[in-house]
Amino acid sequence: MALIQFSGLASGIDSAALIDALVEARESSNELRRSEIEFLNSENDALEELNTKILALNDLVDQFRTINGGGVKKEANTSDATVATAAAGTTAINSSYTLTVTSVANTETANITNGLSPWSSLTSEFDPDSGFDETLSITVGTGGSSFVISVNVDTAAGDTLQDVIDAINNDPGAEGNIVASAVNTGTSSSPNYQLVLQTLNTGTEEGAISISYTDSVGTGSITIDDSSADATDATFSIDGIAGTITRQTNTINDVISGVTFNLESAGQTTITISDDADSTGDQLQELIDAFNDIVDFVNENDTIERIESGDNATNVFGTLAKTNVDNDLISRFRTQLLAASSANGTEVTAMSELGISTNRDGSLSFDIDEFIEAVNTDSTGVSEVITDFADNVAGTAGVLNQFTKFNGFIDLAQESNNNEISNLNDAIEQLERQTASMRETLTLRFARLEQITAELQSKESALSGILAGL
């Protein structure tokens, strides 16, 4: 039979308050565990934010790696942009080139009309004067690059101009190569449509068109003009290179190493390739700003604040104060900054000669004027130093990736925290079970105490009555 307890009714002891105090004292260690869980979650959040910042920094460093062209950027200027424009990669050699464009590469346009029964709308029958099924064959390109689009025109079913246009455009070979459309060469009150075929690639190899339209007895009323605007190749010459150069496209990137020409029209222009110290400096500034953002983030979160209250003192830890990941990152980055060098024989041999210096708080400063002066003095040395630094910092084998990759330093730190959180939660649950059992046991014991006390008091009262009657 369950005991009904009225706390302290017989004994005068407030057992409920005493039990609460004992349980609370036992559970105090759980409060410490919950605080630790909260801190570990905050540390994981801070590590995740740090990871995002590292990835942003990696992208900015990555553009200077050898695989992406290396250090000092180049610029290409043209004396006449109506003839050609140009762009230069970091591998381009500083020089000037006279470019003479004879012709630019063009696409081809062909027209198809119906001479006997002009198309007055898109729903006009394609060839109403033919009593036979006919085939429209379009050959795109020449030689080994050519392919054929064949459209069967069902005259009995009354295939329309729009039906033929759709059949051409929906052919698998048409995508990215040719497009068909209808153009009204008449007036709004008296339309006269033509079927216009336009290739999407320049040059004769991929842009030329040849059209045939036949049935078993002839060509019907269809008129074809497949030479109204012929595809042409780009032809040009560059001083110092013998002969005329021919290409299928107006974008030329395989003649001068590191330089891309975009031909615009026939004529002559001078292309000058030079170091682009300004844009390179701007990119370095972005890189340094991203690193300084990490330094500021670490300085704000890797702190220990001592709070004193009377004789008591408490240390309040920042979210990154109990991990070495952040400090290790900054240390490794600075090591590579100091270690970056150029080959023997260059005047500029270290990052410190590029206007980069370290501040007392660990951040970096960048003097772009000093950097530009270094580029003007020895662009090769500057480029080699930057490239050496980038190759060791970015990319899959770089310092930064060791922190952000799967099972990298940040992943491992967060996994360790998650394991600790799991262990702490298990300990909390175990202690909660123990304290619940403890509360139940104490409640039963005090209930028994109250019962025994009440029985003793009853016997005492009876004995006192007997003694009083003697």
Q: How confident is the model at residue 168 (pLDDT cuts 50, 70, 90)?
A: very high
- Pairing outcome for strands 364-366 and 267-275: unpaired
Q: pLDDT tens for residues 10-19?
A: 455 666 777 7
The pTM of this model reads: 0.72
**Conformational region of residue 9, where left means phi above 0, alpha means psi within -120 to 50, and beta covers everything else:** alpha
Q: pLDDT tens for residues 18-32?
A: 777 776 777 777 888
Please check the confidence at residue 6 and state whether its pLDDT lies above 60: no
Q: pLDDT tens for residues 244-267?
A: 999 999 999 999 999 999 999 999
d(CA 33, CA 39): 10
**How many other CB atoms are found less than 10 A from the CB of residue 207?**
27
pLDDT of residue 140: 93
d(CA 326, CA 54): 10
347 membership: H or E segment, kind and range? none
Q: pLDDT tens for residues 199-248?
A: 999 999 999 999 988 765 445 567 888 667 899 999 999 998 999 999 99
73-91 average pLDDT score:
94
d(CA 266, CA 371): 40
Selection from 295, 359, 364, 358 nearest residue 326 by Cα: 295
Q: pLDDT tens for residues 323-380?
A: 999 999 999 999 999 999 997 778 999 999 999 999 999 999 999 999 999 999 999 9
456-462 average pLDDT score:
73
Q: How confident is the model at residue 165 (pLDDT cuts 50, 70, 90)?
A: very high
Q: How confident is the model at residue 88 (pLDDT cuts 50, 70, 90)?
A: very high
Q: How confident is the model at residue 131 (pLDDT cuts 50, 70, 90)?
A: low
d(CA 314, CA 298): 22
116 in Cβ contact with 103 (< 8 Å): no
d(CA 196, CA 202): 17
DSSP state of 190: S
Domain residue spans in the chain? 32-69+278-410, 74-104+234-275, 109-229
pLDDT of residue 91: 84
Q: For residue 315, give every residue at least 6 positions away whose Cβ sits within 8 Å of its Cβ, in sequence order, or none.
A: 304, 305, 306, 307
Q: For residue 425, give every residue at least 6 positions away whose Cβ sits within 8 Å of its Cβ, in sequence order, or none.
A: 37
Q: Give the dihedral of Cα atoms 50, 55, 57, 60; nearest 10 deg.
A: -170
383-395 average pLDDT score:
95
Q: How confident is the model at residue 306 (pLDDT cuts 50, 70, 90)?
A: confident
Average pLDDT of the chain, as a whole number: 89
Q: How long a stretch of residues is the chain?
A: 470
- Which tokens is 342 given? 């150029």
116 membership: H or E segment, kind and range? none
d(CA 428, CA 401): 37
